[in-house]
Chain A
Amino acid sequence: MSASRPVAQQAAFVRGAVGTRWRLVSEPADGDCVGTVVAVHGFAEEMNKSRHMAARMARLLAADGWRVVQKDLLGCGDSSGDFADATWPAWVADVEEELVQADSGRPVWLWGTRAGALLAAAVLPRRPQAHLLLWQPVLSGAQHLQQFLRLHAGARIVGSGKSPASSLSPAQQLRAGTPVEIAGYELTPALTGGLEAATFDVPADFSGRIAWFELGDEAGELSPAAARGAERLRARGVAVETETLAGPPFWQTQEIEVCEALLLRSQAAVDAAALATTLPLAALAESPP
């Protein structure tokens, strides 16, 4: 890619279907973008822990000419509402809106971190030629929810119903239609129902490429479940590049961690799509009449 360009950032609260959303745009200062990258953050505390990695990635890509849009979903981060106001369809709509707004003549990446991969995949029918950048993607929403509930099993759990300390587990309460407060987050069935039903897949007419990265103790192949998922997509003719990089699981570590290898690897993958799109045009322009 060409030498990095000065980056300009603009943050604002923009209108959502209900209330407003925090939206941070990072782009080359001269405004001439090679394409758009739409970030889709992870679930609950994973979003907080990944925030700085995401910020670093956004600046790197913007310096390479991309317009990077980071928006907090309803009830998350700085966006309006409580976590209890969030619903899965509202989150899908938040992502979809960014996808629809992206310049249609240039490449678009959906960049999903953890559960953000499920939301990114959910909007692909609107633009099946978009590319996917996946950071340790969650493939099963049901499993993700289960892990969240289990991870915080020791934490104080409060059902918001009037009934005294319920004998039902948080998962059972949610299935019975009762919100639960867990580790400081109020989860409602309107959110967890959608998460539970979500699985990672791309539509039949998907024509983008996928850059799929996981982190582990050492570099190498993907985890077995992810490798199977990627293999299934390849069998359908989808271009999937996969790699496990050595690095900390920054979305859940106690301290804020950064994985430079993931930033550089992702940058290379995203930039390659810009080249693939712009090269033929450039070649055309330079060819003699």
Chain B
Amino acid sequence: MSAAAPVEQALGFRCGETQLWGVLARPAQGGESAIGVVIVVGGPQYRAGSHRQFVLLARRVAEHGFATLRFDCRGMGDSDGEQRSFEDIGPDIHAAIDALRRACPAVRQVVVWGLCDAASAAMMYAVSHADVAGIVAANPWARSEASLAAAQVKHYYTARLAQREFWIKLLRGGLDWRGSIGALLNNLRQARSLSSRPAAPHADLSFQARMARGLAGFRGRMLLILASNDLTAKEFLQYTESSAAWRGLLADAKVQRVEVSDADHTFSCRAWRTEVENATIAWLRSLAPSS
């Protein structure tokens, strides 16, 4: 389907007392879907995203009928205020959803799209907003010392053991093998602690447990996009496979999973970016069959 370039406008709004800035992209010829999209930026980025991935994503998604807002959280990009952790951006996400709905009266439901820790924040916070019908979670962040250790044991050490240079270095004495084995043992210990840890009680839950709780209680749907060459994505899977709180959650019918082969964490080339855009658009259409 060929589509006209979307119309973009600056959108200033407030989160509490703080001025936030965003850009709203809307379909050029009307016929706007009742579903809108809010892109939440993860990691150390502002609303354009690494290599402008969110600019290009928002334009493509809007070309296909979905009004899309991307914005800077407090303390990031052009927005005012102090920078904060992804565990504290719930109010920013809610403010953006409300701003999108105010600006686009035709939009009745919202999909929150997040990369990395923004995907984690979406699972924790977007689910509590009444207008949120879906989440797109790309390479969600679930890092703990245990999950990092587990992912390293599985992906790094096994790869290392298969490398010729590793053995040559070891045999020539060029390797601090005491240190390496110590690190491996330490990683193994931490990795074990992940699988044996009991489900946390409700109070003082870890953010990973709060993600699980958010997703478990969520009535909408989720598109999970995983890059196959990304440690963050691997850690997330590892975590969800070994944590009691996550058991069965990703197998639920409300979750659809897409893997982008060879792609890195930010989908840093045109081909990978396009795959992500296409998957997002197709999934949005499945949410809104009438549009």
| A and B associate | yes
Q: A52-B76, A158-B269, A184-B269 are in contact. Are A77 and B48 (CB under 8 A)?
A: yes
Q: How far is the CB of B86 from chain A (nearest CB, A)?
A: 13
Q: How far is the CB of B6 from chain A (nearest CB, A)?
A: 11
Give Cα A245 to B253, complex, Å.
56
The segment from B26-34, B49-57, B206-214, B244-252 that touches chain A is B49-57
> Contact partner of A183 among B12, B49, B51, B75, CB < 8 A?
B51
Give Cα A76 to B56, complex, Å.
11
Give Cα A20 to B264, complex, Å.
31
Q: Is A156 an interface residue (CB 8 A)?
A: yes
Q: Is B261 an interface residue (CB 8 A)?
A: no
Within 8 A of B (CB), among A1-32: 9, 11-13, 20, 22, 24
Q: How far is the CB of A159 from chain B (nearest CB, A)?
A: 12
Instruction: Return chain B residues, CB-CB under 8 Å to A156.
Output: 264, 268-269
Give Cα A45 to B266, complex, Å.
13
Q: Is B172 an interface residue (CB 8 A)?
A: no
Annotate B265-278 by CB proximity to A: 1 below 8 A, 0 otherwise.
Answer: 01011110100000
Annotate B250-266 by CB proximity to A: 1 below 8 A, 0 otherwise.
Answer: 00000000000000101
Instruction: Return chain B residues, CB-CB under 8 Å to A24.
Output: 10, 21, 78
Instruction: Return chain A residues, CB-CB under 8 Å to B49.
Output: 48
Query: What's the interface size class on A, roughly?
Result: 20 to 34
Q: Is A217 an interface residue (CB 8 A)?
A: no
Give Cα A219 to B273, complex, Å.
42
> Contact partner of A11 among B10, B53, B271, CB < 8 A?
B10
Q: Is A287 an interface residue (CB 8 A)?
A: no
Q: How far is the CB of A202 from chain B (nearest CB, A)?
A: 30
Annotate A144-155 by CB proximity to B: 1 below 8 A, 0 otherwise.
Answer: 000000000001
Q: Is B46 an interface residue (CB 8 A)?
A: yes
Query: What's the interface size class on B, roughly?
Result: 20 to 34
What 13 new A-B contacts, CB under 8 Å, besides A55-B79, A184-B52?
A11-B12, A24-B21, A48-B46, A48-B49, A51-B78, A52-B83, A70-B78, A78-B55, A80-B8, A183-B268, A184-B268, A253-B44, A254-B44
Q: Is A67 an interface residue (CB 8 A)?
A: no
Instruction: Return chain B residues, CB-CB under 8 Å to A71.
Output: none
A184 to B50, Cβ gap below 8 A? yes
Q: Is B241 an interface residue (CB 8 A)?
A: no
A51 to B46, Cβ gap below 8 A? yes
Annotate A210-224 by CB proximity to B: 1 below 8 A, 0 otherwise.
Answer: 000000000000000
B21 to A11, Cβ gap below 8 A? yes
Q: How far is the CB of B39 from chain A (nearest CB, A)?
A: 13
B269 to A181, Cβ gap below 8 A? yes
B268 to A22, Cβ gap below 8 A? no
Give Cα A254 to B44, complex, Å.
7
Q: How far is the CB of B31 from chain A (nearest CB, A)?
A: 22
Give Cα A31 to B276, complex, Å.
44
Q: How far is the CB of A253 from chain B (nearest CB, A)?
A: 8
The majority secondary structure among interface residues of chain A is: mixed
A12 to B10, Cβ gap below 8 A? yes
Q: Is B128 an interface residue (CB 8 A)?
A: no
Instruction: Return chain A residues, CB-CB under 8 Å to B21.
Output: 9, 11, 24
Q: Is B23 an interface residue (CB 8 A)?
A: yes
B10 to A22, Cβ gap below 8 A? yes
Q: Is A49 an interface residue (CB 8 A)?
A: yes
Q: Is B131 an interface residue (CB 8 A)?
A: no
Give Cα A55 to B218, complex, Å.
36
Q: Can you sample 12 A-B contacts with CB below 8 Å?
A: A24-B78, A48-B50, A51-B77, A51-B78, A52-B76, A55-B80, A76-B52, A78-B47, A155-B268, A156-B269, A184-B53, A254-B44
Q: A24-B78, A52-B46 are in contact. Are A82 and B51 (CB under 8 A)?
A: no
Q: Is B291 an interface residue (CB 8 A)?
A: no
Give Cα A185 to B270, complex, Å.
9
Q: A52-B46, A77-B48, A256-B83 are in contact. Are A184 and B266 (CB under 8 A)?
A: yes
Q: Is A271 an interface residue (CB 8 A)?
A: no
B76 to A256, Cβ gap below 8 A? yes
Instruction: Return chain A residues, CB-CB under 8 Å to B270.
Output: 158, 181, 186
Instruction: Return chain A residues, CB-CB under 8 Å to B79.
Output: 55
A83 to B8, Cβ gap below 8 A? no
Q: Is A59 an interface residue (CB 8 A)?
A: yes
Q: Is A255 an interface residue (CB 8 A)?
A: yes
Instruction: Return chain A residues, CB-CB under 8 Å to B75.
Output: 52
Annotate B73-94 by CB proximity to A: 1 below 8 A, 0 otherwise.
Answer: 0011111100100000000000
Give Cα A189 to B269, complex, Å.
18
Q: How far is the CB of B269 from chain A (nearest CB, A)?
A: 6
Q: Is B19 an interface residue (CB 8 A)?
A: yes
* B56 nearest in chain A by CB position: A82
Q: Is B193 an interface residue (CB 8 A)?
A: no
* B21 nearest in chain A by CB position: A11
Chain B CB within 10 A, most for which of A12, A254, A256: A256
